[in-house]
Amino acid sequence: MSEMSKVTYRIRRYDPNRDTAPHYETYTIDYTPGLTVLEGLWLIKETLAPDLVWRASCRMGVCGSCGMLINGMARLACNTQISDLGTDQLVLAPLPNFNIIRDLVPDLMPMLSTHQDLHPYVVRDDVAEQEEPTGEYYQSIHDLEQYLQFSYCIKCGCCMAACPTVATDPTYAGPMPLGQVQRYNTDTRDGGFEVRKEAIAGERGPWRCHYAGECSRVCPKGVDPAKAIQLLKRQMVLDVFGLRAKKCPSKLVGKPKDAKRRNGIPEAPKPTV
Amino acid sequence: MSDTKHHPNRLGLWGWLGGGRWGMERYLYALHRVTGLGLLAYFLLHIVVTSSRAFGADRWKTAMDAVTGPLFKFGEYLVFVAFAFHAANGIRLALLELGFAVGEPIEPVYPYRTSVHVQRPLAIGALALAAVLVAIGTASMWLVD
Ligand code: SF4
Ligand code: SF4
Ligand code: FES
């Protein structure tokens, strides 16, 4: 690919105000070393197709906006070097398994509202403590490692686009929301296992997953939702037999009583949230 | 957004097979479902055929005559192959779904090594077990009288 000077984008386009069905349009741009798929899209928009629409923001694999199907694989456009694709012919389409809003923009709302339904936050009884913290909840480094990997999820939806169960079963919650259930269930500060168990009961729950592993293969952040879902199932089975370790929610570690502030160290600023 | 018409884009059955350069686990997933449906269909047919015995020896003989011949023998062989795969892969899935062989949560460092890599030897082992079962079944059905 070292002598590549042009690159061709075949883009699946759909404008709800103009088209009845999606169709492909082809654009050729100059290639410069280091060009990402997202930068190529900007070039096309600036020079060839001002009405081309996609979603992106951070352009560094953090915001989760730019997930799309690139040469058959769900990936982040900003995170994908054209030179890594091994071809100068690109085929771009919106993430499958989501309705298309326009061009490369998928409607992620069903995924995000399912995620919201599954209590993706620390659930505890001591609401007053959470509103006005007087200390910190205990958590060891080992405890942290049990969920840290799953907390890197940026909600890009690539895993949902790759999952064969999501492809045929609209009731299945999917790898992103279920991965986050395991993320919070495993957090020792959390006591929400029971409410989430209710929330994932039935068709939408993890038992619809039969380890195709595609979610983990495409995840651009190494979250490994397939692993999270199998570990979630183990917890649910242990729970049925009353064998689930109940070390949550962890205790509050109050501020040390007799500690004195060292000279020259200023007070922390007031909390803003 | 409410007045915008969205275009449906769910992959459907194509999502079991196509959509990209996928790994072997996706095909094991699709094959597991297809063989499961095949075994279910065979099971229902089996119940219908054997229940004919309840209506007398003549009905039983007629039913048995209807399901003999080389085509049915080959069909039974396919059922056995489906069983061998479904059983071996089922053991793999039962282990995975109980959280074995997927590894512990780790700090993801690029290039990512996921649970798919960790369980791969198990997937290969399941296929090898299925192959051994199929070989035994082939020998006993077609080679040994
Ligand atoms: S699990 Fe990975 S692929 Fe799925 S939404 Fe999160 S970051 Fe994206
Ligand atoms: S492992 Fe489960 S959630 Fe992930 S792609 Fe496969 S079926 Fe879907
Ligand atoms: S633009 Fe933010 S992840 Fe790609």
Contacts of A117 (CB under 8 A, 6+ apart): A177, A199
Going from N- to C-terminal start, the domains of chain B cover 17-143
3-state helix vs strand vs coil in chain A, percent to 5: 35, 15, 50
Q: List, for residues A23-63, the tens digit of each pLDDT value.
A: 999 999 999 999 999 999 999 999 999 999 999 999 999 99
Do A147 and B105 make contact, defined as CB atoms within 8 angstroms? yes
Among residues A73, A149, A74, the alpha carbon closest in space to that of A111 is found at A74
Which ipTM value was assigned to this complex?
A: 0.88
Report the topology of domain A109-240: Fumarate Reductase Iron-sulfur Protein; Chain B, domain 2 (1.10.1060)
pLDDT digits (tens, 9 = 90+) for A100-137: 999 999 999 999 999 999 999 999 988 898 888 888 99
A93, closest residue in chain B (CA to CA)? B9
pLDDT at residue A43, rounded to an integer: 98
Non-local (6+) Cβ contacts of A140 within 8 A are: A188
Per-residue pLDDT at B2: 47
* B6-65 residue pLDDT tens: 999 998 888 887 655 578 899 999 999 999 999 999 999 999 989 999 999 999 999 888
CATH 1.20.1300.10 fits B17-143, yes or no: yes
Q: Is 60 exceeded by the pLDDT of residue A1?
A: no
| Interface A-B: count of C-beta contacts within 8 A | 156
Report the C-alpha gap between A173 and A196 in whole angstroms: 13
**HSE-CB for B14 with a 13 A CA cutoff:** 10
Q: Which residues make Cβ contacts (< 8 Å) with residue A137, sequence separation at least 6?
A: A188, A189, A249, A250, A251, A252, A253
pLDDT in tens, A67-104: 999 999 999 999 999 999 999 999 999 999 999 999 99
Query: What DSSP designation does A224 have?
Result: -
**What pTM was estimated for this model as a whole?**
0.91
Q: How far apart are CA A56 and CA A45, in angstroms?
A: 13
What is the homologous superfamily of the domain A6-106 according to CATH? Beta-grasp domain (3.10.20.30)
Query: What single string gives the DSSP state of each residue in A231-267?
Result: HHHHHHHHHHTT-S----SPPEEEPPSS--PPTTPPP
Q: Which ligand 3 atom is the nearest neighbour of the CA of A76?
A: 4
Phi and psi at residue A105, to the nearest 5°:
-100, 110
CA distance A90 to chain B (A): 13
Note whether A14 and A21 are within 8 A (CB): yes
What value does the mean pLDDT take over residues A197-226?
95
Pairwise CB contact (< 8 Å): B13 & A216? no
**Total Cβ atoms within 10 A of residue B93:** 20
Query: Range(s) for CATH 3.10.20.30 in chain A?
Result: 6-106
